[in-house]
Amino acid sequence: MLALHRCRLFDWSPTPVVALTPSPDGAYVAAARESGDIEIWRAAAGALGWQCELTIPGVNGASITSLAWLRDNGGHTRGRLFSAGLHGRITEWDLSTLKQKATLDSYGGPVWALAVEPAADSPASPNQPPKNRASLKTKPWDASDESDSESEEEDDDDLSEGAPERQPQRVAVACDDGSARLFAVDDVSGELQYAKAMPRVEGRILSVAWGQRAGQLFSGGSDGCIRAWDVATSRELVRITAGIGGQKKQDELCVWALLSLRDGTLVSGDSSGSTQFWDGEVGTLLQAQKRNQGDVLALASPPQQDVVFAAGIDGQITMYQRASEAVVTGKVETTGRTPVGASAGERWVHVGSRRSHTHDVRALTIAQPRPLSEDAEASGTQHRKRKKGRLTGGDSLSLALGSPMLVSGGNDALLFTYPATFFMAFHPFCFSPLPQAPQFHLTPPQENAGSGGSLLLSQHATWLDVWQLDAGERAASASGARLENGDADEAREIADVSHGSDDVGKEKSEGNGGKEGRKAKRRKLEGWAEAAWTGPGASFTGARGEATVKNLTRFGGAEAVAAAPLQEGKPPALIARIKKSGGEHISCAAIAPDGSHVACSDSSSVRLFELGKGDGAGVKVTRVKLLESVPAAQQVVFSGDSKRLIIAARTGELMVYDWATETVESVRLSSKADQRGVTDSHSPVILMAACPGGKWLAVADSASQVRVYNLHRLKLHWTLPSLDGFLPTALSFHRGLPNHLFVATAGNRLHAVDVRAKSSIDWARLGAPSLQQLLEFPGGITGLSADPAGESLGLVAYGPKALSYINLTPTPPPEENTVPEGPPTTKTKKSKRKEKGTSVSERANGISGDRSKKEAGASKPRIVPMRDPCLFVGHLGPNSLFVAEKPWAEVVSGFPPPLYRHKYGT
């Protein structure tokens, strides 16, 4: 029986998604948030495999409004990422070090939008259209298709052999001063430099888009006008009054979004809620649709460009599809001039809408996932159960890798994905259920923490909190009685549990009928008990006054808030708060296993703090000065003996710092191109885990590589072979199983390896013959937890929506029968086919085809769904778990109110 101690005391305030953009090959999506953080997500076909690969910490006051991702002619397929915002500067980010690479002024004040010139439209003369418009590729993000036309005036000797010359991409910038400016990548330095500006107009420029005719640029402003510019001559070619198809006057209209289609059609979204389709050549209105109830803020279209998606402040995403006039009205009448790029009798019709977001939708984009490896492709096409119309990993069978996926983000801080070609056939899938959630780090029970409790470090954007937890077992009595010390409302929702019998977790047959009985059955936790921390006058479910601040001190770039230590029977107590000075956000943090030190890092430096006893019952926080040679870190972790700090530096080095002797040892992190061919000097480190014994260190990077280092010799010991092609999401060592490393991936796989023997481990030998149940783990596995004392040979896998206990008790090998009981039998063809038909994913999780159903289901893990988003799970003892959770309704209550919608009956 495991006791769950659930707590909701922590602050969680995610910020809205303000911009989205795909990578040049479409395999990644960059999401910018209002706080300045930029997340790099690896795209996937369907719901399985979406994973936040990198997070670039933001800076206070740096409000981002737009992103641009350019190809890199230097050979890096990941490209170059730029951001711009209301601070009036354009910043390039280094995707290896996660730091600012370069920054320059926009020369026009705040920036409202960025637009990258299409790679396929780079003719020799900007005044000439492409030679063959019909031959343009339908996948503009495919790097293999990004070749520019050669000019007839160019000398063949100037071209490199075997590859056509690529013209530098240009970026259009919508500036607040009423001008659209152009920036281009310099051929020599490779830096983005100012090129020219279009004439200034009245009001602000809010949106820009490159036309399909070479050298044509569209801009939309706050004056309600859309203008077409000739980039070469800076002349205004066409002026369109967007208010024609809307409900408001021209001086009240703002053109928030523009989209130029390959056939010459220009799509606009404005503050009247109208989505209008224009002839991009002459500026005539082709059609106007008003399906949104508020401002249209974002537009997107898949590579085929036969559909257009529009979204805005009403929270819904609307789909328009090109259809024949004969299909719409039953007759065709064509008179006069045929619009540019439009066949006779074609119209844009409203197909449907989806309201997945509760607040404003501020950004849309299209991603094109790419296969990672054969194992990943095989695991993505496996058959999995799914409810009707719901997008799951098994739907990758119908959504082939490379199918376009629509991605949306907005003020509710969530990111949703939809199949662009089957928009109305599947429900949307939220692949960011825990946006900007605080990171937690739990220590083993401490003798000096009072009552043998543990210390919990919670990492936020600009501060760190140290909590003291009580490890007392208050979940349930041995007789399995109903909880008595928890909150009354919580206790009524928890089913009775019992110990040591075959009917563990079974509900009473009485009083469980009908709708209430079904709800109770869904809430039941089989084999689990729950406890709620309560204190004098308030429960654990959100009271903020339990961590009473005693004093506030400032020291050397940080502030410490000390509070009274936790006494037995009290809820978690906030014993220290470390506030970081400066505007840069904290990127990583860690606490020593003995609770003596805390470390954190931003994009500039690493900071180390010592936690000691202060005057009376307070806690004294002292900053430990580090050597100047210690650079900023991507990840930090303490060694098992709490005497050394291990730093994955942004310079590509693995450093071990001993603060007692003030010595630093370093080794170069191995560099290797990932499966997509990225040739960066090193891939950023995303996970690190140190074994309790202090000998091994596991390091996982964004290229899905897991490496094990020997800390005694400080050298690379082993590079794990490719696991399943998905990104690792959690690493964990187990004290009770020396030299065992457990790795969880975004494909809901759990792998076990023997570090010393450099080999994988059969799950059957660990007492877990079948892990197929984890393939249905809702929300994905985000963390692993093991008993720090090693007394319990079990492993807990958890995610935002569920947790699961996996029994790792080794099972002895079956005894061999020396005396045969009968003549030898031969396997039939049917049984052989069944054995060979075991899928790749089942073999990865230790499922053997010749194992009987009874044996395979004997110790299968039990998945326990969580009612509220689960942020963290950690062991307080052999039979006690700490669960940090937060009701999403409480998080949403801190968002700005959405657009009012009248509901029937209210």
For 315-368, write each residue's pLDDT tens digit.
Answer: 999 999 998 865 555 554 444 444 554 455 678 999 999 999 999 999 999 999
Region 643-648: what's the mean pLDDT? 95
pLDDT for 389 = 57
* Residue 760, in any domain of the structure: no
Integer angstrom CA distances of residue 458 from 240, 438, 576, 584, 748: 53, 6, 11, 18, 26
Among the ranges given (326-340, 437-451, 771-785, 841-855), the one the predictor scored with the smallest mean pLDDT: 841-855
Highest averaged pLDDT of the listed ranges 395-409, 819-833, 836-850:
395-409
Q: How far apart are CA 323 and CA 332, in angstroms?
A: 12
pLDDT for 9 = 87
Query: pLDDT category, 901, cuts 50, 70, 90?
Result: confident
* Residue 291, in any domain of the structure: yes
Query: What is the percentage of the chain residues whose pLDDT exceeds 90?
Result: 49
- Are 905 and 561 contacting, i.e. CB atoms less than 8 angstroms apart? no
Please check the confidence at residue 203 and state whether its pLDDT lies above 70. yes
- Are 79 and 71 contacting, i.e. CB atoms less than 8 angstroms apart? yes
pLDDT for 551 = 30
* Residue 476, in any domain of the structure: no
pLDDT for 452 = 58
pLDDT for 169 = 84
Q: How far apart are CA 755 and CA 2, in angstroms?
A: 29
* Residue 747, in any domain of the structure: no
pLDDT for 244 = 56
Q: How far apart are CA 827 and CA 848, in angstroms?
A: 16
C-beta neighbour count of 548 within 10 angstroms: 9
Q: How far apart are CA 580 and CA 609, in angstroms?
A: 12
Give buried/exposed letters for 93-126 (b at 16+ CB in 10 A, else e): bbbbbbebeeebebebbbbbbbbbbbbbbbbbeb
Query: Nearest 10 degrees: CA dihedral of 35, 36, 37, 42?
Result: 120
Q: How far apart are CA 315 and CA 762, in angstroms?
A: 48
Structure tokens, 477: 């009595």
Q: How far apart are CA 896 and CA 377, in angstroms?
A: 41
Half-sphere exposure of 341 (CA within 13 A, CB side): 22
* Residue 110, in any domain of the structure: yes
Quote the domain boundaries for residue 275: 15-125+167-316+353-430
pLDDT for 64 = 95
Half-sphere exposure of 447 (CA within 13 A, CB side): 0
Three-state DSSP at 841 gives helix
Phi, psi of 719 (to 5 degrees): -105, 115
> At 387, which CATH number?
2.130.10.10
Element spanning 517, H or E: helix 514-523
* Residue 61, in any domain of the structure: yes
pTM of the model: 0.80
More confident residue, 844 or 108: 108
Please check the confidence at residue 179 and state whether its pLDDT lies above 50. yes
- Are 617 and 607 contacting, i.e. CB atoms less than 8 angstroms apart? no
Q: How far apart are CA 651 and CA 634, in angstroms?
A: 9
Residue 573 carries which side chain, given as an amino acid letter? Answer: A
The pLDDT tens digits of the residues spanning 511-527 come to 444 444 444 444 433 33
DSSP state of 45: S
* Residue 688, in any domain of the structure: no
Structure tokens, 333: 């009448």
Please check the confidence at residue 409 and state whether its pLDDT lies above 50. yes
What is the average pLDDT score of the chain? 76
Q: How many domains does the chain have?
A: 1
Phi, psi of 447 (to 5 degrees): -70, -30
Query: What's the distance, CA 342 to chain centroid?
Result: 39
DSSP for 327-381, please give it: HHHS-----SPPPTT--TTEEEEEEEEE---SS-EEEEEEE------HHHHHHHT
pLDDT for 826 = 54
Of the candidates 569, 601, 575, 591, the one whose C-alpha atom is nearest the C-alpha of residue 442 is: 591
Residue 820 carries which side chain, given as an amino acid letter? Answer: P
* Residue 267, in any domain of the structure: yes
Please check the confidence at residue 844 and state whether its pLDDT lies above 50. no
pLDDT for 695 = 93
Strand 17-22 to 2-7 pairing: unpaired
Please check the confidence at residue 396 and state whether its pLDDT lies above 80. no
Please check the confidence at residue 394 and state whether its pLDDT lies above 70. no
Region 659-674: what's the mean pLDDT? 79
Q: How far apart are CA 376 and CA 619, in angstroms?
A: 49
Q: In sequence order, what are the beta bridge partners of 55?
A: 39
Of the candidates 146, 187, 147, the one whose C-alpha atom is nearest the C-alpha of residue 164 is: 147
